[in-house]
Each structure stands twice: as C-alpha cells, then as structure tokens.
Structure 1
Amino acid sequence: MDVVETCGKETTLSSGEPSNKRSIPSIDDDEVVGFENDAEIIMKKLTGRTKELDVLSIFGMPGLGKTTLARKVYNNPSIVNHFDVKVWCAVSQAYDRTTLLVEIFEQAINKECKIKENDNVADMLRKFLIGKRYLIVLDDIWEVEAWEDVRLCFPIGANGCRVMVTTRIEQVAKHLQHRSDPYSLRFLTREESWVLLQKKVFRGENCPSNLVEAGLQIAQHCKGLPLVVVLIAGIIAKMGREASLWLKVANDLSSLALGEQSMKVIQSSYDHLENHLKHCLLYMGLFPEDHKIAVDDLLKLWMAEEFVLNSETENMEETSRNCLNNLLNRSLVMVSKKKINGDIERCILHDVVREFCLRKLKEEKFMQLTVPYSPYQHLCSMNSRLCVYIHDDLVKQLDHCEYQFDKIPMLESKESTKCFGECSRSLEFIAHPNFNPWNKSNPLPLLVKLKLVRVLHFPDEDLPSSWPIAVQSLTYLRYLEISVEEFDFKWISHLLDLQTLVVDSSKFRRTSPATIWKMKKLRHLNVNELSLVWDDNDKAIFEESSTTMLENLKTFHSHRITVDDMNPRFWWRFANLEELSLRVEALPSCPLFPSVEVHTRLQSLNLVINPRGFFDSVGWESYFVFPSNLRHLSIGGCFLTKEMTLNIARLKKLESLTLRGGFPLGKIENRCWDVTNVEFRALKYLALNFMRMEEWKASEESFPVLEKLSIRSGYFYKEIPPSFADIPTLRLIKLYDYTDSLEVSAMNIKKEIEENTGCDSLQVLLLS
C-alpha cells in the first residue's frame, strides 16, 4: 500500500531527498535485502524510549550496508512524519568543519545561503534547532574529532531529538555513545545473500534450476558482505548462464581472505573490464570522496581525454553514456540522482571502490598507456599514448619553479625513460577533476609545464586577468571550464580542438562570436553573459544560403541573451542542436526560432523570460512557436495565453513540461488556466512552480498519459482539477508549500481513485 508522506509545516527536507548537495546514492527497493529487522530496531530507538537527545551509531566494515540501512530508516514514512527537521550529511575522511556546518545549516533551513566570514554558523544552527524535534544523520565518520566539531550545535532538550551516525570504526561509535548502545551491523546470511544475488542478476526472473547449486555456492563464498554480492552479481550477469562458469567464480572467491575481500572482488570486477572502461573508472577515483559526479560533465571529460571515441556512431555522447551504463551494470558505480525523464543526473563511487581506484593508480605510478577506444584498433597500436594523472604529489613538485620533467621520479625507470625520450610528444597529462589542491592564488604558472593537457577545469574561483596569455600555449585543450572577470571569443580562437566550453563571466562585455566558426569540433557551449555584437561582415553568415555551420554543437546555454533580428539566426547555425537553454533579457522583437524546421533534433528547451514590458506587448505569443520534436520544455516568466498553450500542446512528443513564475492570462482577464479542450497527448510529467493563477480547469482528456504532477508554492489557486482522478496513468502528486485547499483536493483525488479502482495506485507527497 502506497503511503501518504507528510512533513509538518516546519519540516525542511522531504523523504527521499536527504541533501541538495551530497545526498546518498539511490538504491532500488529490490536491492535492500536483510535489513528489515535491523531497520525496525533502529526506528524504535529513534522514535521511542527517552525524550532526551540520543546518538545512535551504526558501525561495521566497508561494504556491509551501513549507509543502505541508514537510508532505509531515514526515508521511512514513520520517520519522515516524526521529525520536524531532517538532515543527511556525508562527513567522510577528509572534511572541513566550516563546510560541514554550512551544509547542515542549509539543509536544516532548506535553502542555500551566503555565509559571511564573520558569521557564526555553529551558533546560527544551534539557535535554529532549539525547540524543534530534529534528526541529523552523519554518514561515514572516521574520527572522533569530526563529532566534537559539531556536537555543541545540537541543542539538548526533551523533544526526542536524535543524531544517527554511520562509521566503519568501532571506537568512534563507542565514543559517540549517549544512551543507546552502538549498533553493530551483522553480515547477511547465505539465504539473504542468495536472494540479493538473484535480484541483481535476474532482475525479477526466476533462476534456472541448473544454476541454483552454483549460485548458492557463490552466495556462501561472499561471506555475507552485500558489496561483494553486488559486485559478483555484476560479473556473472555478463557471463553465459552455465553452471561451470559460475562454479569457477565460486572457487576463486573461496580462496580469498575476508580482510581483503572487498579489494579482491573489485579487482576481479576490474579485470573483467575492457581497457577503455578501466581508464574511465580510474579517472572517477580522482573525484573527492562522496562526491556526487555530474554525469553530463563526466561524459564530456571522458570524451576530452579520449577514453572513448565514437566507433560505429557519430554520437560520442551516446558512446560515453554506454560506457557509464556498463560500469553501473557491473555495480562499480552507483546512481545518486535521476532526472525527471529517468536519465541519470549524478553518480557516485562507493568508498571501497574509490579506495581501490586510488590504490591501482599508485601501483601504476599514476601512469597509464592509454589507447583510444575503437573496436577496429589493435591494443598495440602505435597511436597509443602515455598518460600521467595530475595528482596532489605531482602538483606539489610542479609548483617549484626549478622543477623539470626529466627529474620526475615516476619517469626514472628504463622503460619510462625510453618512452619519454623517444615519444615525448605522446606524454600527456590527465587533469585532476577537482583542482582545489592547486595554488588558488595563481594556478596559471603551472599550465606552462602542462602544455599537452586536454582538460582545464577552474569553475569556482576567478582566474587572474592574465589567463588568456596562459591559455595560448594549451593548444591541445578539448575541455575548458573557467570562471573569469571578462571573456571574449577571440581569446580562445586558437583552440581548434575544443569540444566543451563553459564560461562564468562576472563582468558584462559585448563580444563578437565571429571567431567561433573556426571551432568546428565544438559540441557543448555554455557562456553566462552572451551579449553579441555583429558587424557588416557577419551578415553574410545569416543568409539562408550560407553554409557556415557548427554541425557538431549539441548543447547551447546562455544565462543572459537578447532576442533581436540577428541572435536567433546565431543558434539557427547549430542545425544539430539537441539542448538549448536561454535567459531572454528583454521582450522578443522577432521569433525565437526563425525556422522551426531547422532544429529537428532539438530535444530539450529551457526558456527564462524577463517579463519587463510584457504587459504592454501585443501579439508576442506568435514569437514562441517551438521546434516540433521537443521532448522536454521548461518556461519561466511568461503569460499562458490560449495561443501559448496551444503552441505547447502542438508538440506531439512532449513528455515533460515545467512552468515557472508566470501568469495564465493577461492583466484584464481572469487568471484561469483553462485546458479543458486542449490535449497534451504525450505529457508524462507536469510541474507548476510559483504560478500566479487563480483557477485551473482541465478535462480527463487534457492529460491522458500523465504520471507525475508537481506543484510548488501553489498559493494562488484552490484545487487540482477533479478530472485528474480519471487519469489512469497518474502515480504521483507532489506538493511543496501548499495551501490547505490544495492538499484537500489532492487527497480527494487519491480517495476517488481508490474507490473507483480498488487500488491504492496514487502516492501523494506533502512537503513543506
């Protein structure tokens, strides 16, 4: 039976969303095996017994499922309803006290905030928690000092407040003990291991009888460690379903010592990977511990480093995503967050897998003989190259002005010296995905020593004004993400191999993108301040007969752009565009898409429109005719007139629609969004955020296949149309900051569905 999850009006974080920054990885219910009794025991400790503050510690070895159990408890509806404030924070081995406190505080108040240097975050957090019943989860604490750094921020009262901690170190768990004894997590039984193994391998299908005996042996040899079960499942799922092959795996497992079990099993998974997948996995190990890796960025980084090349398809992004799916299927990488459409937004490495990656890199002296992936290229191809990972030790060495490459310790062996001496141009540097350890005051001098680097990623801090000079020598760049005061396309016009360009510019500057046409390999462009200037020489580019194109460009994002007669023709030159995101600064004076037939491959469109002048506009809706193959559309700050609504409804493939901060009609008419006679035939997800409408009308034909409805800050209208009870596919209604009448309408729809179908198929989430 689906449960209505309700948070009180002071609840700050919903079930299933433990953090906006570093939330734990999502785990499907069928992967959680053997924790039912443990979860019941822990929930009783969290909700019962003493009213005083209590700390419950869960401890056990890596891979035993501490985080999984804590997550199962944290997301349980009875826990969600019991606490006013819920916070989940991954602490990890390396942490910063201030950063940790800021993250806990932001989750507690449920919004990001700018903390000043003189702000006492610890005191702010303590004052906010006073009088509230809170649950704070500190996942993966390694040292007692981490607890001492934050414990005084948690007020001691009689509200039944709780802190739940996971740690792999028993002494840490005992030190944190208040009233409840530390909870030692047990190993899975053979039967539980076998259940988990079957679910991972067969995905709901029955295990063939000829594999049961071998499967039970594998389950037995996993020694009750869930991580080992999951990793082995990833291996045998790719094998033929033959008992002899499974028995060989079981025999190999039986010879492993439990202390090194995790590393040995990961090594076994690693050995079964193709070479290009090994490089992809080890690269992920360089991200910080517990880091939720943005998948879109990761795939672009893999492409830039040429770990994966297109083989039978021109779509390198698709090839890269297939590599990630391969690692996910082998359980070496875990899903952390999914997008609305089900695609993976963020992924994460288990601590044990990351530790293995770092060990492997150190064993290989941070070097790899990398071969670009191609099924038609032999592994001993002469085109292979020696790659050196930029790790913290190397950065410290390079930071000395007198440091020379021929003195690099890792290159002193005869083979390395030979390779370095004879093939010096093949020595390339794989950039560390996180550049925080670098010299923050001025990292540019290091770049002179890394001329063959392919990725430059400095997104968080402004580079010095001399950055264009330093970048001149980096002619092999394929990925450039920087935060700078000023930007001009001409400063990077020499980067002809560039695939990804992301620029956060803090100073407004009018720039000509004329030089961009030289960058034929550009695939992803994201420049926040894009005020374009065109001269007479540019006009020929925008003639319909012009062949000037960036045919490889897939995504184009700009956070500030005007729509005049020239600029729409700018992205008109990107015929194969798949994703477009624009913040339009002023009232459009011409159509956004001069010819909608051009962008037949456009799948996702995100528009944020500044409404200044809209009240005085006439006929502006005609400028918003969208390319017909859109699957995802998000619009912010506009009027939903009848014509605009019909323009959206004409999109026959549209699956998700997000409307933000707009009005359903003009200032004279009643603010009613009436879609009674409109059909969104393919729409599965609808989100209405901060919409200022007083009424909403719809028929059962309006949203025939809708699955999810999300409403945020629905203070302006009283109810969801009752016809939503007649949508057979509706599975979820999610309300944030809702009125009582809106809640009542959602519950009435749920009740009507139950009465009409006899099934509790609709879940209602009420989140404040």
Structure 2
Amino acid sequence: MEIVETCGKGTLSAGETSTKRSITSNYDDDEVVGFEIHAEIIMKKLIRGTKERDVISIYGMPGLGKTTLAKKVYNNPSIVNYFDVKAWCAVSQAYNRRTLLVEIFKQATNNKIKIKEDNDAADMLRKVLIGKRYLIVLDDIWDVKSWEDLGICFPQGECGSRVMVTTRIEEVTKHLQHHSDPYSLSFLTSEESWELLEKKVFRGESCPPDLLEAGLQVALHCKGLPLVVVLIAGIIAKMEREASLWLEVANDLSSLALGEQSMKVIQSSYDHLEDHLKPCLLYMGLFPEDHKIPVDHLLKLWMAEEFVLNAGTENMEEACRVCMNDLLNRSLIMVSGMRFYRDVQYCSLHDVVREFCLRKLTEDKYMQVAVPFNPYQHLHSMESRLCIYIHDDLVKQLDHSDYQLDKIPMLDFKETNSLEFIVHPKLNTWNNQYSNLLDLLVKLRSVRALHLMDVELPDSWATAIQSLTELRYLALCVKQFELKWISHLHNLQTLQVKSSEKLRLRAATLSEMTKLRHVKIDCFFMVWENNEQESSSASMLENMKSFGTCDLRLDNMNARFWWRLPNLEELGLSVKDVPEFPLFPIVEVHSRLHFLSLEFSLMELFNSVGWERYFVFPSNLRHLDLAGYFLTEEMVLNIARLKKLESLKLLVGFPFGRSESYCWDVTNVEFPALKYLGLFLVQIEEWKASEESFPVLEKLVISGCSDFKEIPPSFADIPTLRRIELTNCIDSLGVSAMNIRREIEENTGCDSLQVVIEK
C-alpha cells in the first residue's frame, strides 16, 4: 500500500501556466513498517544456502502484505545486483500459462527477443534461463497445479537460482518445498501497527498528544493486519481529529472477528467515499485479478463513462487525477508501477478489495455486472447500466442467437436499448475463427468505450462503427484510416489508431471534432494534408490535451497547425525529415505543455546544417524526451533554459556532431530543477560536469553506453542524489558509481545512495 501526495493547485483559466496535478508516491516501498526483519530473512534465503535451484515460499492470510514484502525484497539493490535475470508475474486463480511464460520471457530478455505465435514459449524460456542465476517471482499461487504448470520451465542447476512464491494457502507451500522451509508472514505487533497508522495518517509528523491514546486503541484493534491498518488510516485521516470519533472506530473494530475484518473495513471505507468516487472504484473490479491498470488509460475511461465531471470540460483530466489521488490516499487502490519521474503509471486493486468490488457488482461467471447509477451522469436515465466483457463465450452465443441480444441466455434483461458494453484493453480474447465481429459492433449502439487494438479489423470497419454515436473512447487497429470516417462521432474524446499503411490526415477534418482531448496515431507513415485555405477555416481545438504520432513528415505541414492546439499538455512526435521551420514558432502559445517527446531520423540530421536553431522549447516543460539528435552546444543551452524541467531522457544521440570529440561538457551549464536524467545508447566517451550542473538531481540512469567510462566525480557533491542505475555498461562506469557512493558515505556517514548495476 502506498500513500500519495497531491501537487498543483486549482482550476486553470485561459492563458495560465499548466500546473498539472501529479499522482506521485509519497512513501517508498522500503518504508513499510514491520517488514525489515522479514525482508532480511528472505534475502538471506535468496542469496545464501544451496547452489541448487530453491523455492522460497511466503504464505499468510490476505492482507498481511505478502506481495508488498516480496516486492521490497525483489527491488532491493543487493538482490538486483546478485541475480543475472529477474522476472515477476502474478499467477492468481485464473491464468493463461502461455501468457505468463511469455511475460517472464520478456523480462528475462529485457524485451529484446520476440516470441512468435508458433514458438514453444516454455522451451524458449528454459533456453534463456539455463546457465544463469535467475530469480523468478510467482505472486499469488492458489494451487499445486499452477506450480506443476510453470515450475518445469525453470531449469535446475548449480548457479544459485531461486523461485520466490507468495500464497495464502499453507498446504501449497508444503508441496513446493525444496531446500528452504516455507516462511509464514506474521501479524504486525501493536507497536508496529501504531507506527504504520501514525505514518499513514500524519504523513511523517507526530501524533498530537490528545489523540495518542485513541490512536493506540485503533491500532490495537486492527489485529496486526497491515491492509486493515492502512484502510482505517484512510478513513480517520478524513475525519475530524477528535479522540471520541477515533474511539468509536476502535470500538467498531473490536467487535469484528479476524476473518471478517478486512471486508467490513473495506465496506466502511466505501461508505465514506463521496458518491462520484464509488463507481470509479467499482469499475476497477471489471479488470482481472492482479491486473496492472495503466493510470492514463483508466482516467480516460472514467471520463468516457462520465463517472467524473467538472464544472467546465477544460479540466476533466484534473478532476480525474483528484479522484485517483483520493482513492490512493485511502489505500483502496495500490500503486503497482511508477514512471521514472515518480508519477504513478500503473495501479491495481488488492485481492480483497477487488473481491469486495465484485460482490458489489453482483458478478456472475460471464462477468455480467451492473454499474450503479452515478448522480453526475446526466445524459441517461436513473437506471443502473449493464457492463460486460466482450469475449469468446459471448461471441459464440451471439453467433448462435443470430446476433439478437434479447435471445442470449447469459444476458438476463428485458430492455436492450440502454445496454452499454465495456471492452478493456488486451483483455478481450476474440479469435480469428469468428468472422462476424463487425456484426457484433453494430449491436453495441450505446457503447462509450471501445478498445480493439489487439484485433486488426477488416476494411469494412468504418461502416460497422457508423451507428456507435455515443462513443467517447475509440482505439482501433486497422489497415486504412481516414478521419472523415469517424468525424460524425461528435462526443469522441479519445482516439487511438494503429495502422500498417500510410495514412493521410486532413487537419480541417480533425478540427471538426471539437471534443477530442487525446489523440495517438501509430502508423508506418503519416502525411498531413493541410493548406492555407484549410488553415484559415479550421477551428481551434481548445480541448486537445495530448497529441502523439509515429513516423510523421513535417515538410508539407503548415507550422500554424500547432497554434490550433493552444492547451496541449503532452506532445509526442516521430519526425522523419529534417526540420525546416521552428516546431514552436511562438513558444508562448503552448504555455501548458509539460511533456514533450521528439524522435528524429539521425541519418537525415547528419546531412543537415543548423537544424538545432528550430528547437526552442516552450518554457514550462517538465519532462523532455529526445531521440536521434546531436546534443550541440546550442541544443544544450535550449534545454538548460527550461527552468522547470524535472526529467530529461536522451536516447541514441551524439554530444557535438561529426567533427567533434564525443565529450559532453556541461561544467558551466545548470539544469536547476532536473531530478531525473536518463542516458540510453548515447555515444559519450567523456562527461564533464560541476556540482552546480545538476543541483537537485535524484536519479541517474545510464543504459547501453558502451564507450562511456566514468560518471563525473562531482556527482558525489549532489546532496539530493539517491539512486544510480547502470545497465549494459563497461565495468569502469560501475567502478566510478561505487566510488561516488563510497565518498558520500565517508562525507555524510549515511548510506543514502543506491547503486544498481545490471548486465
């Protein structure tokens, strides 16, 4: 469980600088109370003992923190540095063997090798793991059959390999036992419970004396379950700070038996939610067990379903982020993945919380659930809406029922007009044997969110989608695409397209879709058809917040197009020609832009002169990614002018171009707000920097820089530096990182810098 802190203020009005509210983790995993001794014991089992492959089992009842403990150990630098290969997968009750093996294989190979459909995933995984010291985590195993399915894919050997398993069933651990005894995770002591409760409620501050006794009583009656402690903390943190109210909570807890406590506390947490937050939480129960839900995607789905509305549509994203922060603060949602700049990228539900949500949704075996009416939902009736997964079983029954929804046995309803179907990304399992997919789409007239990125639709897709006028979220994988085919979808907010053919897009048609907020188009090649006449007639797309394209040519695109997106917050472009005009002719226009990703054709840049003068960036950028570039002196100065820049990611670049030595000298340059710096496949031989160059840097990541010999020694003088990660780098770079760590220890007496080195 993690708590978040909220950044940014208020609602934006036109012309203001963007202060996008971040969803960021306030506490690290290693601050989880009461796990220090457990973690030390587990790490000894992983590193010491037999050289043969061993299975380390952690078992205990739901809510004890088995997964949290395993993650704490898994991410510990000493564990990361010890094993050649690491992989983590959640097994759960229902799982697909091949899917899990492919996921482990991806992690084991750093996603460098692809497994084709006809490949034997188990055999390929065994070959990758043989001869390596590996650590595989199988989280949440429910039966012995799961181990028999997966365990045979992990080769024996004398390398000291380990498989770490978490389970709530003690009997399973006995069958898995090899050399090490199963490890029973114990309850928190009353002192540990109070320490955790105080930390979660008061965010690092001490409890006021007048609340101390009541707080101790609350902690005592949580009965040592970390899940209950953090959920209760989420409740009382929102209450008035009065001892009498806290004692009422303690008395309620004391009356609950241990087995029923978690579910009752979740019910209480749910009851304390504001009305609009309840469907946001229950909606997450539609995702599979242990699924890592992409936060950006989830927020767009919330918007599409109108769970979260704002007084004005300008800041629906902000309203969604507030809701996400609130659910995280109450520990009803867990953080399951962070971006490098400490924004929450993935979230998930604890098994017990998800079980509660599914009970609320009265789920049956076909995932048929009723989402309760949301008072903010003004477009439809007061009735609950039926939400259902679209999957093979449903498609079969639709086929047998001649696609008449009221004849499908699994759907128990009388009225079909108000049906709304939700299709989650990468969760639908349509097979190619069903050729009438488009017939199904025709029936989904009330659908608001449709995600079909994993199924390439036939060319007649546009005709089938004509009737889906309620769509607010649309993600498609198609061969051919034209904006005019969907321009009638006037409610559309999110558009994502993947295509294997060249697309031609008319800016004027895009301008007709005034409610669009998020556009991402990935294709082999894309050309904008935009002329002066269209530019003069096209309207401003003031609602557009994020815009991303792949393989874009700018040579025939009027630069003024960007002026029509004045409120952009995120922009990502893959540019396949030499820039011939400034990307941001008037940088002040895009004062809200906080994230920018630019990828250039390096070979084109080799043949260009003075291209860097076209890259003066909007001044309020907080995150900048550059790929395929020359990091010339002028480009460095343009980046350094960004006084709010917090993260900089450089991929496949050269410091000073063809005629210069590959030395990146920023001794006299300052990046005043930079907290994260990532260098990936950058052709640096020498790096010079002063302690003033990166005054607040927290994390440095270097990967694949084969000629890079040393991190500047001045990094030892950066007081905020907490972590250095090196992957596939030469040994001397690792030595310099360890020297920096040693110098910091000697100067401060604190072991504050983590160094992680992976080959």
In the superposition, the TM-score normalised over structure 1's length comes to 0.88
Q: Is the 8 A contact 1:561 1:584 kept in 2?
A: yes
- For residue 383 of structure 1, report the CA deviation from its aligned partner: 5.8
How much has 1:243 moved relative to structure 2? Answer: 2.0
1:473-524 Cα shifts (integer Å, max 9, x gaps): 0001000011111111111111111000000111223343432111100000
Structure 1 223/285 Cα, relative in aligned 2: closer, same or farther at 3 Å? same
With over 3 angstroms needed to count, the CA separation of the structure-2 counterparts of 1:618 and 1:498, relative to structure 1, is: same
- Any idea what the Cα deviations from partners look like across 1:463-482, whole Å, max 9, x if unmatched? 22221011100001000011
> Could you tell me which residue of structure 1 aligns to residue 304 of structure 2?
304
Matching residue of 2:604? 613
Q: Distance in 1 between matches of 2:570 and 2:240?
A: 39
- CA gap of 1:339–1:45, structure 2 versus 1, over 3 A, is closer
Q: Relative to structure 1, is the Cα distance of residues 602 and 721 closer, same or farther in structure 2, using a 3 angstrom cutoff?
A: same
- Alignment CA distance shift 1:163-1:489 (3 Å): same
Q: Specify whether residues 588 and 304 from structure 1 end up closer, same or farther in structure 2 by C-alpha distance, changes over 3 A only.
A: same
Q: Cα gap change, 1:674/1:465 in structure 2, threshold over 3 Å: closer, same or farther?
A: same
1:586–1:612 CA contact under 8 A, matched in 2: no
* Deviations, residues 128-162 of structure 1 (Å, cap 9, x unaligned): 33333322221111121111112222222333332
What's the counterpart of residue 191 of structure 2?
A: 191
Determine the C-alpha separation between the residues in 2 that align with 1:69 and 1:678: 42
Distance between the aligned counterparts of 2:319 and 2:80, measured in 1? 40
Residue 223 of structure 2 corresponds to residue 223 of structure 1: yes
Residue 11 of structure 1 corresponds to which residue in structure 2?
none
Partner residue, 2:735: 744
Taking the aligned partners of 1:618 and 1:681, their CA distance within structure 2 comes to 30
For 1:539, the equivalent position in structure 2 comes to: 532
> Is residue 386 of structure 1 aligned with residue 378 of structure 2?
no
- Write out aligned runs for 1:22-37 (5 A): 28-29=28-29, 32-37=32-37
Q: What does 1:389-408 align with in structure 2 at a 5 Å threshold?
A: 389-391=387-389, 398=398, 400-402=400-402, 404=404
Instruction: Give CA deviations for 1:168-209 in whole Å, capped at 9, x if unaligned.
Output: 122222211223332222222333222222222122222233
1:757 CA drift (Å) = 4.5
Judge which range, 247-256 or 290-299, deviates more.
Answer: 247-256
Q: In the superposition, relative to structure 1, how do residues 438 and 542 fare at CA in structure 2: closer, same or farther (>3 Å)?
A: same
Contact persistence 2:66–2:166 (CA under 8 A): yes
1:474: which partner in 2?
468
SS at match of 1:320: helix
State whether residues 422 and 450 of structure 2, in contact with CA within 8 Å, keep that contact through their aligned partners in structure 1. no
Q: Which of 116-125 and 226-235 deviates more?
A: 116-125
Deviation, structure 1 residue 462: 0.8
Q: Is the 8 A contact 1:734 1:765 kept in 2?
A: yes
User: 1:550-699 alignment to 2 at 5 Å?
Assistant: 550-699=541-690
* Displacement of 1:685: 2.0
**Compared with structure 1, are the counterparts of its residues 117 and 503 closer, same or farther at alpha carbon in structure 2 (3 Å cutoff)?**
closer
Cα distance change on mapping 1:764 and 1:69 into 2, 3 Å: closer
Q: Residues of 2 paired with 1:753 and 1:179: CA distance? A: 39
Partner of 1:341: 341
Which residue of 1 is the match for residue 493 of structure 2? 499
Structure 1 range deviating more: 399-408 or 164-173: 399-408
Deviates more, 1:68-77 or 1:587-596: 68-77
My pick for the range that moved more, 145-154 or 252-261, is 252-261
Residue equivalent to 2:10: none
Q: Deviations over 1:697-728 (max 9, x none)?
A: 22333333333222212222322233333333
Counterparts in 2 of 1:52 and 1:338: CA distance versus 1, 3 Å: closer
Alignment match, 1:46: 46
Q: 1:139 to 1:654 in 2, by over 3 A?
A: same
1:509 corresponding residue in structure 2: 503
The answer on whether the counterparts of 2:77 and 2:756 sit within 8 Å (CA) in structure 1 is no
- Bigger drift between 594-603 and 79-88 goes to 79-88
Structure 2: which 5+ runs fail to align? 1-24
Question: What letter matches 2:246 in structure 1?
Answer: W
With over 3 angstroms needed to count, the CA separation of the structure-2 counterparts of 1:728 and 1:225, relative to structure 1, is: closer
Look up the SS of the partner of 1:153 in the other structure.
Answer: coil
Question: Against the structure 1 CA distance between its residues 194 and 400, is the aligned structure 2 distance closer, same or farther, given a 3 Å change threshold?
Answer: farther
3-state DSSP of counterpart to 1:612: helix
Query: Aligned equivalents of 1:92 and 1:175: distance in 2?
Result: 17
Q: Which moved more, 1:74-83 or 1:585-594?
A: 74-83
* SS class of match (1:92): coil
| Deviation of 1:433 (Å) | 5.5
Match of 1:242 in 2: 242
Q: Which stretch of the first structure deviates more once superposed, 447-456 or 669-678?
A: 669-678
**Could you report, residue by residue, the CA deviation over 1:374-431 in whole angstroms, capped at 9, with x for unpaired residues?**
9xx9xxx98645311114687665554346555678997xxx86xx5xxx86654444
Please list the CA deviations of residues 585-631 of structure 1 after superposition, one character each: whole Å capped at 9, or x if unmatched: 11122222232232121111100001223222122111222222212
Shift of 1:547: 6.6
Q: Quick one: distance in 2 between partners of 1:227 and 1:759?
A: 31
Among 428, 434, 454, the residue aligned to 1:436: 428
Q: Structure 2: how far apart are the matches of 1:305 and 1:115? A: 36
> Match of 2:7?
none
Structure 2 Cα separation of the partners of residues 409 and 31 of structure 1: 51
Residues 51 and 454 of structure 1, relative CA distance in 2, 3 Å threshold = same
2:264 match: 264
Q: For residue 279 of structure 2, what is the aligned residue in structure 1? A: 279
Contact in 2 for aligned 1:385/1:427 (Cα 8 Å): no
The aligned runs of 1:750-765 (5 Å cut-off) are 750-765=741-756
Q: Indicate conservation of the 8 Å contact 2:425/2:453, yes or no.
A: no
Return the alpha-carbon distance in structure 2 between the equivalents of residues 68 and 353 of structure 1.
15
**Percent of counterpart pairs with the same letter?**
67
Judged with a 3 Å threshold, the aligned counterparts in structure 2 of structure 1 residues 396 and 194 are, in CA distance, closer, same or farther, namely: farther
For 1:522, give the aligned amino acid.
L
Q: Does the 8 Å CA contact 2:450/2:475 hold for their aligned counterparts?
A: yes
Which of the residues 678, 692, 709 maps onto 2:700? 709
CA distance in structure 2 between the aligned counterparts of 1:205 and 1:41, rounded to whole angstroms = 30
Alignment partner of 1:528: what SS? strand
Which of 395-404 and 150-159 deviates more? 395-404
Deviations 1:281-315 (A, max 9, x none): 11111112211111111101100000000137731
**Letter aligned with residue 695 of structure 2:** P
Asked if 2 retains the 8 angstrom alpha-carbon contact of 1:60 and 1:66, the reply is: yes
Aligned residues: 727
Q: Decide which moves more: 456-465 or 204-213.
A: 204-213
Asked if structure 2 preserves the Cα contact closer than 8 Å seen for 1:270 and 1:278, the reply is: yes
* Alignment correspondent of 1:373: 376
Give the residue type in structure 2 aligned to 1:98.
Answer: R
Structure 1 residue 45: deviation in Å? Answer: 3.0
- In 2, the alpha carbon distance for the partners of 1:600 and 1:206 equals 40
Q: Is 663-672 or 739-748 further displaced after alignment?
A: 739-748
Q: TM-score, normalised by structure 2?
A: 0.89
Q: Does 1:527 align with 2:521?
A: yes
Could you tell me which residue of structure 2 aligns to residue 456 of structure 1?
Answer: 450
CA distance in 1, matches of 2:214, 2:73: 33
> Which region of structure 1 is more displaced relative to structure 2, 448-457 or 42-51?
42-51
For 2:157 and 2:576, the matched residues in 1 are separated by 51
